[in-house]
Structure 1
Amino acid sequence: MTIGRDHMMRAVSVADIAPTPYAWQIRAAGLKVRVGRKRMAVDGLDLSLGTGVHGLLGPNGAGKTTLIRALATVLRPTEGTLELLGEPVGGRGEHRALRRRIGYLPQEFGYYKRFTVREFVEYMAWLKEVPKADIPAAVQRAVERVGLADRADERMKALSGGMVRRVGIAQAIVNDPTILLLDEPTVGLDPAQRLRFRELLQELGMDTCVLVSTHLVEDVAAACTDVVLFAQGRLVFQGTPEGLAAAGGPEHVGDSPLERGYSALLQGPVKHGGSW
């Protein structure tokens, strides 16, 4: 997975340089999202996220995937408010224009095995309504950024699990999204690929709001400017990796300061919003 400087410049439109009408790319207030008939997987979330790389941490069953699916407009809010790029999300709207500006890699990534890498990423670019004339360059740029330029014409069924995951990242960034949502993106990547993926995250976070759900605390330490700790559908902590590390001590479980801070905060009472 080789990540270097971009070889192609993206055309800048008037919309790219116009002032944004919103303060935060993602803003939730009292957000609740129900899964099934009874379980409130996201339960009263207050959260504001802007440009940068935000790590979403939490134990299994915390509600991380449900939150990301709501942010991707796959699930509708049950209560509260959710705004993406200044637009309210909810009701019966299709949010078609909004989805063109979102990149999303779900935890369970489906694909067509008979497609080549290039064909699949082209298909996803078409679904995201990337202008037809721009698709070839956008696809080439995306596969280069995830280090798959030399595999672009191989069929998906011939790829390893880690390579398939990298194709998933490529399709998520092919439309140059303003909001990028990645649910466990490093699953299947080897240690060297994870290091290079962190470099890509840092590059993307320069002008994009990136939210990365992960179980790997070290990925957060290396790539994220902000940490969101989630448990039982509620916000436990939001702050810097350094702030998370400072929350723990030698008496807490973990092999690093970040892991000890993570353990310490999960052992305490859950806060309904804001920073710990």
Structure 2
Amino acid sequence: MVRTVSAAETAPQTYAWPVKAEGLRVQAGRHLAVNGLDLALGTGVHGLLGPNGAGKTTMMRALATVVRPADGRLELLGQPVHTRADLRGVRRALGYLPQHFGFYPRFTVREFVEYMAWLKEMPAGDVPGAVQRAIERVGLADRADKKMKTLSGGMLRRVGIAQAIVNDPQILLLDEPTVGLDPEQRMTFRDLLRELGADTCVLVSTHLVEDVVAACTDVVLVDTGRLVWQGTPQELARWGAAGDAGDSPAERGYSALLRTHRAGTR
């Protein structure tokens, strides 16, 4: 007898908080780069801001399960990862572009993205279509069969984005994704972010406040490994005043929040 499968059973699983951290502490060598971070991220595009040395890259590496937290609690897609030895299931649902990513120079763009899909244990039958779709989404369809060593820095960064999204991840982590992109490519990338954020938890680390304002639904500001502030781009802009550093309301809000945090007034 064949059992009828309900719509609820086939619907994709959703989580109140795809990313949730409580008291998270993460080492970078001997340095405690993330120090007692409390954070909850839902579906949407979250911009991660902070000065150099704020702990952004270490935080991204912990969320990508590259490094294990030293203390605290971290849940990804409802699964506690700080104590789990087997993270394969969680990793299949992640997309990650590190600040510096390695590649095989003699691979073509298509071969490299296919290889990353294989590492993510995607079903073999799904790989060709997923790879082509990812390459098209980053605007590299005309370079799909070119070797990686022939690409410009901006093109390589776009290949990095393609490999991060090839598995349609539920959590997408992008560390400085717009480095090397020209203004037109950055605007196209913002459109892609908005598209992805409709049903994915996207975290984008950047120093470009204007990219956050243009593409993100939420802003996360960190300093010295701690959460300083979280809110919308519009709320960020309201924090700034005429005397604060920055060329836009959002940049002035960013400066004001860091200043008040370091002065211990909030």
What is the TM-score with the length of structure 1 in the denominator? 0.91
- Whether the 8 Å CA contact 1:56–1:228 is kept in 2: the answer is yes
- Whether the 8 Å CA contact 1:24–1:85 is kept in 2: the answer is yes
Match of 1:59 among 51, 55, 65: 51
1:18 Cα deviation (Å)? 4.2
Residue 211 of structure 2 corresponds to 219
Specify whether residues 72 and 19 from structure 1 end up closer, same or farther in structure 2 by C-alpha distance, changes over 3 A only. Answer: closer
Residue 188 of structure 2 corresponds to 196
Q: Which amino acid aligns with 1:47?
A: L
| Structure 1: 4+ residue segments shifted above 3 A | 13-16
What is the TM-score with the length of structure 2 in the denominator? 0.94
Residue 221 of structure 2 corresponds to 229
Q: Secondary structure at the match of 1:80?
A: strand
Q: What RMSD over aligned residues (CA atoms) do the two structures have, in Å?
A: 1.6
Structure 2 residues not aligned, in runs of 5+ = 1-6
Structure 1 residue 17 and structure 2 residue 25: aligned?
A: no
Q: Secondary structure at the match of 1:269?
A: helix
Residue 210 of structure 1 corresponds to 202
Structure 1 residue 30 and structure 2 residue 23: aligned?
A: yes
1:14 Cα deviation (Å)? 7.5
Residue 138 of structure 1 corresponds to 130
1:270 Cα deviation (Å)? 5.4
Counterparts of 2:27 and 2:134, CA distance in 1: 34
1:90 Cα deviation (Å)? 1.6
Counterparts of 2:260 and 2:10, CA distance in 1: 43
**% identical equivalent positions:** 71
Match of 2:70 among 58, 67, 78: 78
Counterparts of 1:71 and 1:42, CA distance in 2: 12
Structure 1 residue 264 and structure 2 residue 264: aligned?
A: no
Specify whether residues 127 and 14 from structure 1 end up closer, same or farther in structure 2 by C-alpha distance, changes over 3 A only. Answer: farther
Counterparts of 1:16 and 1:158, CA distance in 2: 43
Q: Secondary structure at the match of 1:258?
A: helix
Counterparts of 1:146 and 1:15, CA distance in 2: 33
Structure 1 residue 179 and structure 2 residue 171: aligned?
A: yes
Deviation string for 1:216-273 (max 9, x for gaps)?
000000000000001000111100001111111001011000000000011112599x
